[in-house]
Chain A
């Protein structure tokens, strides 16, 4: 699978407040062509905003974001067909009553015939080891199973890029490893926003975001070292 090019062309975000515009992400210029891209940083640093800009959940107030040359703001629907998004809390992402129905929801735009859609959804569940839970209520799933289902729902439409915003934050250690291995094993380009430094060490390129700016952009080990050093400095260690 060819790796898409994600371009940030002076893309930044500010939000209006009663005290003037608040900077969320400073104008950023990047060209991301690697298969595994990690994004780390403190809470509220702007890393989720950066990730959300890739599929148009957050629109740049300055500059633009392009996916393989297609402007996300101008062609959001077209871009979303190519960019899947995994949220931190699968409870918000999984919206249908049973596992198979939730995957079917993702396929509604792509497969019009109900029977074919059901078969495709069952195939997707089988790929993720969830076939036996097809008719199970999503409320009875464990946190790990629910996140797995959320990822299955995203991958059902075979996007070229998967953006995952802290997908392991709510999971236990075993499920963190399971989901991490799954994401790292995908054919797709993956943009992984995380606090898990072990997970991010397996990325080809890592961005460190701080106070709405990309303060470091480079290989994983160097990025992690830079981030840890900045955290230690901040807490006075």
Chain B
């Protein structure tokens, strides 16, 4: 079975980006994201994409996987860009498309070069002050991790359900696809909850 999407999937490596502290990587992503939103122009959009590609190359992430991740985002980005073209013209559409691809590439670089447990540990350190408010940082961090992990799992369920609907000749009936899809996603969430409970996660 292959990984459907790179999101949330760590790729072991020894590159400079892999060896950077988690905090530096998260801060860099935050700064990059703010810059993309705050400074908007066509030259800036190309520059953001160039930066994202250079960082991805320096991280030595497999190009095949980067392509897959970009392709997943492109579906949404192209749809949004089409709306932008309709309302604001071609330049704004291209700019939006480039910005979304750049942001997603940078996000993939973060998740692809950082083990989830390292992110959890860092996150727990950062939000430890929340304990005073009665919030359990461990639980918050695990929730974020599970949400990231749920993405490829949900895509896999969607593909299986779509194939099952096709096999029965029901691909043109959204209900034949959506109902079992929702039921299976909820069932998987229930099973995962049971599995976490069985492992004692959340008991402390």
* Closest chain B residue, CB of each to CB of A87: B195
Contact of A80 among B9, B118, B121, B198 (CB under 8 A): B198
Bound complex: CA A91 to CA B204 (Å): 24
**Residues of chain B in range 149-204 having any CB-CB distance to chain A below 8 Å:** 149, 152-153, 188, 191-192, 194-201, 203-204
**Residues of chain B in range 134-155 having any CB-CB distance to chain A below 8 Å:** 138, 142, 145-146, 148-149, 152-153
Bound complex: CA A80 to CA B196 (Å): 11
Bound complex: CA A157 to CA B200 (Å): 10
Contact of A77 among B8, B196, B204 (CB under 8 A): B204
Given A92-B194, A101-B115, A135 and B2 contact (CB-CB distance below 8 Å): no
B81 at the interface (CB under 8 A from A): no
Bound complex: CA A139 to CA B9 (Å): 9
A97 at the interface (CB under 8 A from B): yes
Q: Do the beta carbons of B198 and A97 come within 8 Å of each other?
A: no
Q: Do the beta carbons of B199 and A153 come within 8 Å of each other?
A: yes
**Residues of chain A in range 116-170 having any CB-CB distance to chain B below 8 Å:** 118, 135, 137, 139-142, 153-154, 157
Binary contact readout B1-33 vs A (1 if CB under 8 angstroms, 0 otherwise): 111100011101000000000000000000000
A71 at the interface (CB under 8 A from B): no
**Residues of chain B in range 32-85 having any CB-CB distance to chain A below 8 Å:** none
Given A89-B191, A139-B9, A95 and B200 contact (CB-CB distance below 8 Å): no
Q: Do the beta carbons of B200 and A139 come within 8 Å of each other?
A: no
Q: Do the beta carbons of A92 and B195 come within 8 Å of each other?
A: yes
Q: Which residues of A contact B10 (CB under 8 A)?
A: 97-98, 101, 135, 137
Q: Do the beta carbons of B200 and A92 come within 8 Å of each other?
A: no
The smallest beta-carbon distance between B183 and chain A, in angstroms, is: 15
B110 at the interface (CB under 8 A from A): no
A215 at the interface (CB under 8 A from B): no
A85 at the interface (CB under 8 A from B): yes
Q: Do the beta carbons of A109 and B203 come within 8 Å of each other?
A: yes
A84 at the interface (CB under 8 A from B): yes
Q: Which residues of A contact B138 (CB under 8 A)?
A: 108
Q: Do the beta carbons of A87 and B204 come within 8 Å of each other?
A: no
Given A95-B192, A96-B117, A97-B149, A84 and B203 contact (CB-CB distance below 8 Å): no
B97 at the interface (CB under 8 A from A): no
Q: Which residues of A contact B145 (CB under 8 A)?
A: 95-96
Q: Do the beta carbons of A93 and B195 come within 8 Å of each other?
A: yes
**Residues of chain A in range 38-73 having any CB-CB distance to chain B below 8 Å:** 55-57
Bound complex: CA A106 to CA B201 (Å): 8
A-binding residues in B (CB < 8 A) = 1-4, 8-10, 12, 115-118, 121, 138, 142, 145-146, 148-149, 152-153, 188, 191-192, 194-201, 203-204
User: In the complex, given contacts A84-B199, A87-B194, what are 16 additional A-B residue pairs having Cβ atoms less than 8 angstroms apart?
Assistant: A57-B197, A87-B198, A93-B195, A95-B145, A96-B117, A97-B10, A98-B115, A101-B10, A105-B142, A105-B199, A109-B200, A109-B201, A114-B118, A137-B10, A139-B152, A154-B199
13 residue pairs bridging A and B, Cβ less than 8 Å apart: A55-B198, A76-B203, A81-B200, A85-B199, A92-B188, A92-B194, A95-B195, A95-B196, A97-B10, A98-B12, A101-B116, A139-B3, A140-B1
